[in-house]
Amino acid sequence: MSNDNLSDQEAVSGQVSDQRKAMGTWMVRLATLGYALLVLLQTLTATGVIEFGFSSWLPAFLGFGVWGVFLCWGNILRLDEQGWRALFVLPAILLTVAMVIFPTFFGLYIAFSDWNLSSATGQHFNGLANFYQLLADERFWNALSNMIFYVATVIVQYAIAFGLALLLNSEIRGQKFFRVAFLLPFMLSPVAVSWMIGKSMLEFRFGPVTNLLRSLGWENPSLLTTPWLAKSTLAAMDAWVWIPFMMILLLAGLQAMSKEVQEAAKVDGASGWQGFWHVTYPLMLQVSMTTVILRIIFQLKLADIVINTTSGGPGGATDTVSSFIFREYKDRSNVGYGTMVAEVYLVLIIIFVSLLLKLSNRIMQRQGA
């Protein structure tokens, strides 16, 4: 439909009168000028050059919204139908620019400065000092290596989720009940999970899980105090929350697969296991890939459970990059260094996810060929 529409648009915009066009153009220009003046005024006030501006930057922020309204309106006057069409995406773009793109770049300004929010001295630039500090900071590298472990556990979660999806997809009674029951952990607040499972059920003296482990013959189940065990325990809690997510996606993939293919596999005399590896699994590759990549993307944000269960302990064994930065701020109010770590982490994530997408594309192509 695209070509038709483009020619339609030209025909439609040709009907806009010159007067209306000029009005729209001037509306955008005046709004931009007005907003620039507002920002200038506020900058002068904030730097102490003049004194009659607003007490906070809030008007400048809201002004951006007003400017956005005039931009959309001016576009409609100027371009008519095309302006109306732009109105569909412009609000989302403006919101994202104001709330994501601007703060991310503003973060760079913070990252290159020594800035302690609780001290009175305020911000001053210190160049690459934060970056050098990061390179030498063992706690950061430790957190990063923990992230590799946490991301690797996604494969285990995937295997379990696939198993559960296969179970749910087999001919069973009460499928709806099991599906809801299996989904519920995904709905729960990670903070509540941290406290009621991490701190209560895994409590060393009386938690039901530690009691169970003791009765199974494990004399000293120090789940959250032995470093490697604490890391595995947190990975298990995280898996408990997120397995339903993967299970639902994989189950949808299984259900979308035509029954005929599976029947054909059975008729060919393939046993259940062979049928799975040679028929079901290759067909599920696309869905599996999407599921695992989505899950890894979410896993890279892992924070809440770690912050609330162990605060990164014992000795940083369970720290994730996010929880490390969280504590860095909470303990020291040091936004400069925290932001530098966050921005470096973002760059690492972007590289990692890009490579991951490339790799998955290559695997899919090979599968197709």
Pick the closer one to another protein by CB: 131 or 329.
Answer: 329
CB of 247 to another protein, least distance (A): 10
CB of 298 to another protein, least distance (A): 9
The answer to whether the Cα torsion of 306, 307, 308, 311 is positive or negative is: positive
Per DSSP, 17 falls in state -
Pick the closer one to another protein by CB: 25 or 227.
Answer: 25
CB of 55 to another protein, least distance (A): 8
Q: What are phi and psi of 126, to 5 degrees?
A: -135, 25
The residues with which 334 forms a beta bridge, in sequence order, are 116
Pick the closer one to another protein by CB: 107 or 227.
Answer: 107
CB of 267 to another protein, least distance (A): 17
Distance of alpha carbon 150 from alpha carbon 153, whole angstroms: 5
| Cβ neighbours, 10 Å, residue 234 | 26
CB of 30 to another protein, least distance (A): 21
Pick the closer one to another protein by CB: 149 or 227.
Answer: 149
Pick the closer one to another protein by CB: 182 or 227.
Answer: 182
Pick the closer one to another protein by CB: 27 or 304.
Answer: 304
Pick the closer one to another protein by CB: 227 or 285.
Answer: 285
Please tell me the number of Cα atoms within 13 Å of 127 on its side-chain side.
Answer: 3
CB of 200 to another protein, least distance (A): 6
* Contact partners, residue 226, CB within 8 Å, separation at least 6: 314
CB of 276 to another protein, least distance (A): 14
HEC readout, 288-334: HHHHHHHHHHHHCCCCHHHHHHCCCCCCCCCCCHHHHHHHHHHHHCE
What's the angle, vertex CA 152, arms to CA 238 and CA 355, rounded to 5?
120
User: What DSSP string describes 158-197?
Assistant: HHHHHHHHHHHHSS-TTHHHHHHHHHHHHHS-HHHHIIII
Per DSSP, 113 falls in state E
Pick the closer one to another protein by CB: 230 or 320.
Answer: 320
| Owner of token pair 């989302």 | 92
Locate 201 and state its tokens.
């059920």
Per DSSP, 137 falls in state -
Distance of alpha carbon 108 from alpha carbon 343, whole angstroms: 7
CB of 42 to another protein, least distance (A): 10
